[in-house]
Amino acid sequence: MSITTQLAAVVVGTGPVTIDGVVAVARHDAGVRLSDEALEAIAAGRDVVDRLAADTQPHYGISTGFGALATVSIPAERRRDLQRSLVRSHAASTGPEVEREVVRALMLLRLSTLATGRTGVRAEVATAYAAMIDAGVTPVVREYGSLGCSGDLAPLAHCALALMGEGEVRDAAGDLMSPAEAGLTPVTLTEKEGLALINGTDGMLGMLALALHDLDTLLTSADVAAGMSVESLLGTDAVFAADLQGLRPHPGQSVSAANIRAVLHASGIMASHKTPECTRVQDAYSLRCAPQVHGAARDTIAHARAVAERELASAVDNPVITPDGRVESNGNFHGAPVAYVLDFLAIAVADVASMSERRTDRFLDVARNHGLPPFLAHDPGVDSGLMIAQYTAAGLVSELKRLAVPASVDSIPSSAMQEDHVSMGWHAARKLRRSIDALTRVLGIEVLTAARAIDLRAPLAPSPVTGAVRDLLRERGIPGPGPDTYLSPDLETAADAVRDGSVAHVLNGAAQ
């Protein structure tokens, strides 16, 4: 997706932000603003906290310690120290820096929960948090530190630390500096506020929202790639007929089959072998069953989207302020619902990539490619053609299989056994991001390979869609058939064409 104009600010109210809103703020630097309704809800929630802060009875998160220290009562004069110490101690991530878009996504989602009025922060805290997002200032968050319960504590604590004027941030240009150098005015946190800023599933949910956005494009690209392979491997399109697909009415399968039919429409290559002499009745599963696999992945994405939308509509904090003014402890911070679908998506991604790699491999074997040269090489023996491109795809698929092992079953107790079952949702999200990158590259290799095979079928004409994808790659500098050249840059270019939506756009444009 290319953004050429300044996006309108995303309005954060008492209701959920959308996945598109997350993408706009996280990836395309849209600003944010709090609605008047949100500011009113925040003020009402704060009134409850102020009332309980003056109470002689202890209230968790307001006048007590946290986690295993929840029974320790904190006197009023030490509560600001309590909030500051909480944030400092929990900002304990380590490892490589997390991507800017992930940090912006988790900050937007934490702001969305603050805006519900269910957390008890003051309006000035929420507005300062919004201003940090709006200014493009991104706290430094490192990869390891979250167990996904209570939510993404360490990543969110780094963002709260920056709000306090401590830690490290990067400005809109990406330069590393202190919060003061970035122009942030420190906020002194009072009762409940440190806890409210760090207790949520926002990191894993932000990564899920970004993944769902990317997977919509990648599944369309997978359909395009499959259609290109069916065409240039002289497969049959009869199996994609709507009435056959309708015998198994999975919605994702129907969409994928329709996409492949659109890819193959008006193909001269397909028409060339639709003769009485043609004995091709059944193709290999990687060709024939593409709608079933891609469709199952689409249905998995639909389920994950439903979970994400429910989570986006949630107010996750502990304790939480109820609409009738109670402050109650709860377990809504547990990341299991999000973690499960993150793991589920990694399985689907690995399988779609595995099928793509098998189609790529068929092009290179003279026993299975129906008349194409070995490895699609110009001078086989002297030239290796696309032999090692398939190795690269195979290596990526092997990595994807490892990434498909679920993180959400690997609970490790923490906090002196108070938090004795955790979701590992952050880890599930991190590996899904790597999986999506690998799928992008595997599909790029298939599209590059199929485009070369289309050229080798000349003078037979490809379909309008497959021909347009082939032309797109040529316009971006990927050469057609010929002697071997330096291949790595071509693989990167093909992956970029998949990643930025150009391959999917060819089909979407044809359907309009």
Residue 417 pLDDT greater than 80, yes or no: no
3-state per-residue secondary structure call for 196-225: HHHCCCHHHHHHHHHHHHHHHHHHHHHHHH
Query: pLDDT tens digits, residue range 479-491?
Result: 999 999 999 999 9
Please state, in angstroms and as integers, the Cα–Cα distance from residue 151 to each residue in 27, 52, 67, 392, 426, following that order: 22, 25, 13, 36, 9
Residue 9, H or E segment: none
Q: What are phi and psi of 33, to 5 degrees?
A: -150, 145
> Any idea what the Cα angle at residue 124 is, between residues 122 and 129, rounded to 5°?
105
Mean pLDDT of the chain: 94
Catalytic residues: 60
Contact 358, 442 (CB under 8 A): no
Contact 135, 172 (CB under 8 A): yes
Query: CB-based contacts of 397: which residues, under 8 Å, 6+ apart?
Result: 350, 353, 354, 357, 438, 442
> Any idea what the Cα angle at residue 334 is, between residues 411 and 64, rounded to 5°?
105
Q: Which of 355, 219, 349 is nearest to 285 (CA)?
A: 355
Q: Determine whether 398 is exposed, middle or buried from the number of CB atoms within 10 Å of its CB (0-12, 13-18, 19+).
A: middle
Superfamily of domain 208-511, CATH level 4: Fumarase/aspartase (Central domain) (1.20.200.10)
User: Among 144-148, 163-167, 247-251, 436-440, which stretch is predicted with the lowest mean pLDDT?
Assistant: 144-148
Compare 226 and 1 and report the one with higher pLDDT: 226
How sure is the predictor about 2, in pLDDT bands with cuts at 50, 70 and 90?
very low
Q: Token digits for 136? A: 């493009």
Contact 207, 430 (CB under 8 A): yes
Class (C level, CATH) for 10-200: mainly alpha
Q: Token digits for 493? A: 């270019």
End-to-end CA distance of the chain: 18
User: Domain extents for the chain?
Assistant: 10-200, 208-511
Q: Which of 174, 137, 175, 173 is nearest to 158 (CA)?
A: 137
Q: What is the pLDDT of residue 60?
A: 77
Contact 486, 478 (CB under 8 A): no
How sure is the predictor about 57, in pLDDT bands with cuts at 50, 70 and 90?
confident
Q: Enter the pTM of the model.
A: 0.95
How sure is the predictor about 412, in pLDDT bands with cuts at 50, 70 and 90?
confident
Q: What is the pLDDT of residue 269?
A: 96
Q: What is the pLDDT of residue 421?
A: 82
Query: pLDDT tens digits, residue range 274-283?
Result: 877 666 768 9
Q: What is the pLDDT of residue 52?
A: 87
Q: What is the pLDDT of residue 511?
A: 62
> What distance in Å separates the CA atoms of residue 113 and residue 411, rounded to the nearest whole number?
26
Please state, in angstroms and as integers, the Cα–Cα distance from residue 498 to each residue in 160, 400, 473, following that order: 36, 18, 10
Q: What is the pLDDT of residue 3?
A: 40
Query: pLDDT tens digits, residue range 442-500?
Result: 999 999 999 999 999 999 999 999 999 999 999 999 999 999 999 999 999 999 999 99
Q: Can you list the alpha helix ranges (DSSP code H) found in 325-424?
A: 336-364, 387-403
